[in-house]
Amino acid sequence: MNELRIKTPEGVLFSFPLASPIVRFLAWTVDAAVMGALSSITGTCLGLLGVISYDFARAITIIAYFAISIGYGIATEWYWRGQTVGKRLLRLRVVDEQGLRLNFSQIVIRNLLRAVDLLPGFYLFGGVTCLVSSRAQRLGDIAASTVVIRVPSIAEPDLDQLAGGKFNSLRQYPHLEARLRQRISPLEARVLLNALLRRDDFEAAARVNLFAELAGHCRSLVHFPAEATETIADEQYVRNVVDILFRKQQAQR
Amino acid sequence: MIIDLQRFLDAGRPHWSELETMLTKLETDAGYTLQFDQLRRFYALYQRVSADLARVQTFASEPEICRYLESLTGRAYAEIHETRDRGTRFRLWAWFSQDFPRSFRKHIRAFQLSLLITLVGTAFGAIAVGVDPDAKAAILPEQFSHLAGDPAKRVHDEETRKTDRFNHVKATFASSLMQNNIRVSILTLATGMTFGLGTIVLLFYNGVILGAVAYDYIRAHQTAFLLGWIMPHGVIEIPSILIAGQAGLLIGKTLIGGKERSTLKSRLRAIGPDLLNLIGGASLMLVWAGMVESFFSQVHEPVMPYAAKIAFGFAELTLLCWFLNRRIPREVPAP
């Protein structure tokens, strides 16, 4: 299972994609580098206190190093609601296992129990537990009832890609439009929509091939008269089909 | 059937944005609470977004908008269904003087077990050194190598020393002691995740070291020095480690479950705040112990009479017992 699925009492199901151990390890590497940099800067700054008292400067530096090593994860995860610098960069977040609000005690426990995850060295306990656990949890996560999820960028689909409002030759045949909507499955509709939304991500040759294939499939489902289709390219054909599928009210206006 | 996505977005977007604004406010401002009317609106919006999510999941299979609505539903769900206390402003003294002793007493049996394991270890260490004096070298770790020699010689050296060997490094020594002892406490807590076995081993080993050193000094007729040296910081440091052990054993007990009928997840969730109180309280105690050990425990006769140091230790121990066992006003549940 690579998802955290939660069903609300209202019966609505939502899910979060779980972070893999490898990505988590990369985030931890970034955090280790940040902690190293913080310690180095702090050590240099506090070293200036040596002018007043060398003993005092050393004592404060030891405490500062300790506070950074223990407190970095706790402070950042609390301040950024489940994220450290590494997790922000790799778009990860710590969340409660039941989808509830993350509590301070959970953050502290999962960070303190890193001590046992690190044993006997190189995150062996934590790494093995993470690989074995169905929710990719290390021991600290199990104790704190937390999981680490991926937070993909969330954006509404850009429907301008569909060129709404422009002339659509297929709409001249309402009975064929209705047949197309009936014959095409939600999964196929999703493929067509996503192909258009991501058209700029494809290389030119691959894009031509892809839209030729998709248009061919659509044509096999419903045969529109030649005068409606012969002057338009494959990509435009797919665009018109998606327009019909996702903007059916337009025809009724 | 496929929904009209454009119309769906146009109709839903104002509600989604309104909910998102309320959620951001709730998540970023710990002191922010909703009034009754706002709460009703919040719940209505949550229901609306949930319904939109169910609709888009059923009909459209559109991944982007699905993820967006899932994220909103998830965040709103967390706010609506969370029954634990919302983080109020943290007050250090109220937490240390009330929450910490309350958690300590709530799980007193785990502390008693922690004490028992340490005492068994102490007896084992004392017997081992009593039977075979060479065992001391094997028992004491590298960091205690200065205790491996003859106790009588060490006492003589300390009492005839003309200069303070910790002069100009007292603060450094104190901070090293603090961070080392707190690390040991955290490890004692964390190894509770091995069903308590790791915690038991650490507590037992701490006891073994204590027993070996104590027996060695008592056998060499240096009991007064031993008490004067150990008691000022030890009466705080040793209970701190025992409290960390209490927390570790609590984790072990929770993992094992026994006669508990609730699920492992709910049991672990329930002990979370107590674990935090115990390890936090123990860490603060270790800050005090580190300062006492560096600035006071290392001062010996003739500069400081042992009787005075032992009396100081007894006073601390009495105060600690009173502090942890005193009457505390009952916790008032949040309205």
Chain-chain contact of A60 with B84 (C-beta, under 8 angstroms): no
Residue B333 confidence (pLDDT) = 55
Q: Is B8 helix (H, G, I), strand (E, B) or coil?
A: helix
Report pLDDT digits (tens) over B209-220. 999 999 999 999
- Among A32-41, B71-80, B109-118, the least confident range: B71-80
Is 90 exceeded by the pLDDT of residue A14? no
Gap from A212 CA to chain B (nearest CA, Å): 22
Residue B70 confidence (pLDDT) = 85
Residues B87, B30 contacting (CB under 8 angstroms): yes
- The mean pLDDT value for B158-179 works out to 88
**Locus of tokens 């104590």:** B214
Q: How far apart are CA B169 and CA B146, in angstroms?
A: 18
Residues B193, A143 contacting (CB under 8 angstroms): yes
Q: What is the DSSP string of B130-158?
A: HH-TTHHHHHS-GGGGGGSS-HHHHHHHH
- The mean pLDDT value for A238-244 works out to 86
Gap from A144 CA to chain B (nearest CA, Å): 7
**Locus of tokens 């426990």:** A109
The closest CB to that of A63, out of B4, B73, B179, belongs to: B179
Report chain A residues whose CB lies below 8 A from the CB of B276: 104-105, 108-109
Q: How far apart are CA B263 and CA A232, in angstroms?
A: 62
> What six digits make up the tokens of A170?
């297929």
Of B250, B262, B263, the closest CA to residue B103 belongs to B250
Q: What is the DSSP letter of A18?
A: B
Look at chain B and count its residues.
Answer: 335
Shared domain check, A194 and A146: no
Report chain A residues whose CB lies below 8 A from the CB of B77: 6, 8, 14, 99-100
Report pLDDT digits (tens) over B159-169. 888 777 777 89
Percent of chain A with pLDDT over 70: 92
Shared domain check, A128 and A9: yes
Q: How far apart are CA B93 and CA B99, in angstroms?
A: 10
Average pLDDT value for chain B: 89
Number of H helices, E strands in chain A: 13, 4
Q: What is the dihedral of CA B64, B70, B73, B75, to 10 degrees?
A: -100
- Among A62-71, B77-86, B114-123, the least confident range: B77-86
Shared domain check, A181 and A122: no
Gap from A13 CA to chain B (nearest CA, Å): 8
CA distance between the termini of chain A: 45
Report pLDDT digits (tens) over B141-154. 887 877 888 899 99
Query: Could you tell me which residue, B2 or B49, shows the higher pLDDT?
Result: B49
Report chain A residues whose CB lies below 8 A from the CB of B61: 186-187, 189-190
Gap from B141 CA to chain A (nearest CA, Å): 18
- CA atoms within a 13 Å half-sphere pointing along the CA-CB vector of B251: 36
By DSSP bridging, strand A3-7 and strand A13-17 are antiparallel
CA distance between the termini of chain B: 47
Residue A253 confidence (pLDDT) = 38
Count other C-beta atoms under 10 Å from residue A31's C-beta: 18
Q: How far apart are CA A115 and CA A16, in angstroms?
A: 27
Gap from A115 CA to chain B (nearest CA, Å): 6
Q: How far apart are CA B100 and CA B94, in angstroms?
A: 9
The amino acid at B155: V
- The mean pLDDT value for A14-23 works out to 89
In this complex, is the C-beta atom of A120 within 8 Å of any C-beta atom belonging to chain B? no
**Locus of tokens 């700054």:** A45
Report chain B residues whose CB lies below 8 A from the CB of A241: none
Residue B165 confidence (pLDDT) = 77
Chain-chain contact of A14 with B251 (C-beta, under 8 angstroms): no
Shared domain check, A164 and A145: no
Gap from A208 CA to chain B (nearest CA, Å): 24
Shared domain check, A203 and A166: yes
Is 80 exceeded by the pLDDT of residue A250? no
- The mean pLDDT value for A11-19 works out to 86
The closest CB to that of A62, out of B13, B57, B172, belongs to: B172
Is 90 exceeded by the pLDDT of residue A4? no
The closest CB to that of A155, out of B64, B74, B194, belongs to: B64
Of A94, A96, A100, the closest CA to residue A77 belongs to A94
Report pLDDT digits (tens) over B45-59. 999 999 888 888 776
Q: Does the predicted model carry a pTM greater than 0.90?
A: no
By C-alpha distance, the chain B residue nearest A247 is: B4
Mutate which of A58, A105, A185, A190 to test chain B, going by most B C-beta atoms within 10 A? A105
Query: Could you tell me which residue, A83 or A152, shows the higher pLDDT?
Result: A83
Helix (H) or strand (E) holding B292: helix B264-292
Chain-chain contact of A139 with B193 (C-beta, under 8 angstroms): yes
Residue A202 confidence (pLDDT) = 86
Residues A111, A140 contacting (CB under 8 angstroms): yes
Is 50 exceeded by the pLDDT of residue A252? no
Is 90 exceeded by the pLDDT of residue B206? yes
Report chain A residues whose CB lies below 8 A from the CB of B269: 145
Shared domain check, A36 and A123: yes
Query: Could you tell me which residue, A39 or A159, shows the higher pLDDT?
Result: A39
- Burial pattern B30-56, b for ≥16 Cβ within 10 A else e, equals eeeeeeeeeeeebeebbebbbbbbbeb
Gap from B32 CA to chain A (nearest CA, Å): 15
Q: How far apart are CA B215 and CA B125, in angstroms?
A: 8
In this complex, is the C-beta atom of A155 within 8 Å of any C-beta atom belonging to chain B? yes
Residues B69, B53 contacting (CB under 8 angstroms): yes
- CA atoms within a 13 Å half-sphere pointing along the CA-CB vector of B66: 17
Selected residues 53-112 of chain A with any CB under 8 Å from a CB in chain B:
53-56, 58-60, 62-63, 65-66, 70, 81, 96-101, 103-106, 108-109, 112
> What six digits make up the tokens of B226?
């031993």
Segments forming the whole domain that contains residue A225: 159-252
Report pLDDT digits (tens) over A92-127. 999 999 888 788 999 999 999 999 999 888 889 999
Shared domain check, A201 and A121: no
Mutate which of B49, B50, B193 to test chain A, going by most A C-beta atoms within 10 A? B193
Q: What is the dihedral of CA B104, B110, B111, B114, to 10 degrees?
A: -150
Q: Which residues contact B97 (CB under 8 A, 6 or more apart)?
A: B323, B328
Report pLDDT digits (tens) over A156-204. 555 565 555 677 888 888 888 888 888 888 778 878 888 887 888 888 8
Assign A251 a pLDDT band (cuts: 50, 70, 90).
very low
Axis crossing angle, helix B223-256 with helix B264-292, rounded to the nearest 10: 170
The closest CB to that of B276, out of A8, A11, A108, belongs to: A108
Residue B257 confidence (pLDDT) = 85
The closest CB to that of B73, out of A12, A56, A115, belongs to: A12
Chain-chain contact of A145 with B268 (C-beta, under 8 angstroms): yes
Q: What is the number of domains present in chain A?
A: 2
Assign B274 a pLDDT band (cuts: 50, 70, 90).
very high
